[in-house]
Amino acid sequence: MREDGPEAVFRLADYVCAFSPAPADLRARARLAVLDILGCMVGAATTPAGAMIVDAVADRGADGDTTTVSLAAGRRSEDSALANATLAHMLEFDDGHRPSDNHLGCVVVPAALAVAEETRASVGDLLDAIIVGYDVMGRVGEATLLPRRRSPFHGTGTTGVFAAAAVAARLLGMNAERTAHAMAIAGTAAAGLRESTNSGPECKPLHAGRAARNGVESAYLARGGYSGPREIIEGRHGFCVAMCDEPRPGLVTDALGERFAVVESGFKVHSTCGMLFTMLDGVVAARDEFSPRPARPDLLRVGVPVLLATEPAFTRRHPRTGGQARFSISYAVATAWRHGQVLPSDMRPDRLLDPEIADLEDQVEIVVDPEAEAIYQRTCADPFFFYPAVVEVGHGGVRRRSLHTSPRGYDPSQPLTADEVERKFLGVAAPVLGTAEATELARLVLSCADCEPAAELIRRAGSGRTNYEPGRTG
């Protein structure tokens, strides 16, 4: 499996270290990614699971100079990376990259923010590190994508270690050789099992947190002289062989710098697993066609590929936790029908007990649709594949059937505007930080000078810490 020339991790390290300051348009896109992830981090800190991870860092984390959302005292960069990256993925509201089938921002941005704060890096340095971090994580994910959804490993956790190590090494000013060893060391700690989705969904965001922490720690080890396996990516017992049945290690470095994963990523509209987005778009579209809209339609059916109709996480009804609800088709469809969107606030314990939503959930039919399954089989290996869904709604003798294959926002060919990303951020951050502080943070992220200190971004995001009460989770 060895490619001609230097080992893949060394070629990747050359790219990380040699990357020139990004053009303004690429940095502007990276700013939107930072804003989106900061909103996810801040919003998740008030959830039960979010409070637990903050509690863990408060109790066991070491003193340091970096900001953990909701904590007043500084923590080590590794501890802040752990907590903030876990929070970033907790709401299932963070961006996604279809060519790798992973969530890049929830690992890359928190890791970069932690090390940028510790090294007193500029905003421009932060943005460039984020851009290359997205590329590292995206490319390693592409190399281990196929066959899609067949591996027992959660790619965000497994590939994230390489990206976190890369951004940390770049911000620490390490040379290409030491950067390669940072990623190689991190690769030996790649982990995260997809069983968490089925029977322990609160562990899924922890995969992002551990990836960020392990990557940052690996960079510090490499800076001190520690070395990792040179063929960590393409070796006989390397990452690609371990993670999938159809490894494609050549994709890791093919045409690096000619396309950018931060541009290929899409922003979420709904606070659920992205695999549900096409059906939710269909439900919202059908909802808008009925006037007046019935509270409980006679028919509310979603037709999906076999995979979605048979995995327990997706077919679970009446979820008891926010982690379960973000994967439940019936809950997401019922919520989208009632509210027109699925937001993080819909995952609160009181919302999960809403009797009207529960009644509507019982009306939702989940079936295998032959057309959706045929599209799935034909296109699932495509880089920008989305799970097809057929939505059928009927009421009072009127029936609507529609096929949906590409969700707005999550599909970068149908992107959210900068204003929409900002409104999304304010929707989750303002209730925690306050409207004035959240608005100022958005302005800072989107328009501060590249020469300004990056630390101010995460410190302002952490200003909601006055609302945090240690030990409140019991």
Class assignment of domain 274-404?
alpha beta
Domain ranges of the chain: 8-264, 274-404
Helix axes 105-119, 155-171, angle to 10 degrees: 20
Predicted confidence (pLDDT) per residue in 309-343, tens digit:
999 999 999 999 999 999 999 999 999 999 999 99
Q: Which of 367, 328, 382 is nearest to 351 (CA)?
A: 328
Q: Which of 70, 44, 29, 51 is nearest to 461 (CA)?
A: 70
Structure tokens at 330: 């019936």
Residue 5 has what pLDDT? 53
Q: Cα separation of 431 and 412, whole Å?
A: 28
Structure tokens at 209: 């947190």
Among 3.20.20.80, 1.10.4100.10, 3.20.20.150, 3.10.290.10, what is the CATH number of 8-264? 1.10.4100.10
Residue 464 has what pLDDT? 57
Question: Half-sphere exposure of 291 toward its Cβ, with a 13 Å CA cutoff?
Answer: 3
293 and 283 Cβ atoms separated by less than 8 Å: no
Residue 72 has what pLDDT? 77
Residue 316 has what pLDDT? 96
Q: Which of 59, 56, 63, 60 is nearest to 84 (CA)?
A: 56
Q: Which of 106, 136, 67, 157 is nearest to 455 (CA)?
A: 67
Residue 61 has what pLDDT? 86
Q: Which of 91, 68, 82 is nearest to 431 (CA)?
A: 91
Q: Cα separation of 139 and 12, whole Å?
A: 10
Residue 73 has what pLDDT? 77
Predicted confidence (pLDDT) per residue in 46-74, tens digit:
999 999 999 999 999 888 999 999 997 79
pLDDT < 50 stretches in the chain: 1-4, 465-474
Residue 85 has what pLDDT? 98
Query: Burial of 296 by CB count in 10 Å (0-12 exposed, 13-18 middle, 19+ buried)?
Result: middle
